[in-house]
Amino acid sequence: MSSVRKGPPKHQNKFAWKPNAGIKINETEVGGRFRPLSEITGVCQRCRDQIDWKRKYGKYKPLTEPSKCQKCSKRNVRQAYHNLCTGCAKEHNVCAKCSCRVGQVVGRDISEVEAEKKALEEAIKNARERDRRSLLRAMNKGKSQSWEKNQTQNDMKVGELFTASSLEEYAEANLDDEDDDDEDQVKVI
């Protein structure tokens, strides 16, 4: 009969295990810096934690093509580990992964995300070229002050990105700033 060991483990890990620690990940592939994994939406908190765990420990496998919904049998399921499409899950008020009834679903609706993207594209389109390029550069880097504010304040909407309510007000504000700069330069010379 073997003796059963009681107490703490014999050896403690010196550092946390990281999946793919020695492998360099291509930044343009899914999961890289330029194409991050999609946001987890339409699931309960328990299922979200499970999917987060898979992502954290290198077990997550994204879908390559849409899978079948278990309710409507259409190929509408576009997120990994989901069993129901967003339409069926919303209609029946259930989690898209475990199909249990939930009071609150984690994440935003796809229609909200698309509306926000359209508003952002419209704001970028109406901005002058210099502002547009600097904004796009900041969005790609993720290091600008406005980007950090967006991460700290999740309730901030896209419309608050530009303070002017119309394109004319935005143009007038920028012209005023440029006039002030010109006057400063004339005074210096």
Domain membership flag for residue 121: no
Q: Which residues sit opposite 77 in a β-bridge?
A: 67
Domain membership flag for residue 148: no
How many domains in the chain?
A: 1
Domain membership flag for residue 114: no
Round the average pLDDT of the chain to a whole number and report it. 77
Q: What average pLDDT does range 114-138 have in this prediction?
A: 83
Domain membership flag for residue 14: no
Domain membership flag for residue 138: no
Domain membership flag for residue 150: no
Task: Read off the pLDDT of residues 55-66 as tens digits, 9 standing for 90 and up.
Answer: 988 899 999 999
The confidence score (pLDDT) of residue 170 equals 65
Q: Which residues sit opposite 94 in a β-bridge?
A: 101
Domain that holds residue 26: 20-107
User: In this structure, what is the dihedral angle of CA atoms 77, 31, 105, 120, given to the nearest 10 degrees?
Assistant: -100
Query: Does 181 score more than 60 pLDDT?
Result: no
84-to-29, 61, 67, 79, 102 alpha-carbon distances in Å:
26, 17, 9, 10, 14
The confidence score (pLDDT) of residue 156 equals 44
Q: Fill in the amino acid letter for 61.
A: K
Domain membership flag for residue 98: yes
Query: Does 3 score more than 80 pLDDT?
Result: no
Q: Residue 77, by phi and psi: left (phi above 0), alpha (psi -120 to 50) or beta? A: beta
Domain membership flag for residue 167: no
Q: Provide CB contacts within 8 A for 150, sequence distance 6+.
A: 156
The confidence score (pLDDT) of residue 29 equals 80
Confidence of residue 179 (pLDDT cuts 50, 70, 90): low
- Indicate the SS3 state at residue 43: strand
b/e code 51-79 from CB counts within 10 Å (16+ = b): beeeeeeeebeeeeeebebebeeeebbeb
Q: What is the DSSP letter of 25?
A: P
Q: What average pLDDT does range 178-184 have in this prediction?
A: 51
What string of H, E and C letters represents the secondary structure of 55-122?
HHCCCCCCCCCCECCCCCCCCCECCCCCCCCHHHHHHHCECCCCCCECCCCECCCHHHHHHHHHHHHH
The confidence score (pLDDT) of residue 167 equals 60
The confidence score (pLDDT) of residue 50 equals 95
Task: Read off the pLDDT of residues 25-52 as tens digits, 9 standing for 90 and up.
Answer: 788 887 778 888 888 888 999 999 999 9
The confidence score (pLDDT) of residue 151 equals 45
The confidence score (pLDDT) of residue 175 equals 65
Query: Does 110 score more than 60 pLDDT?
Result: yes
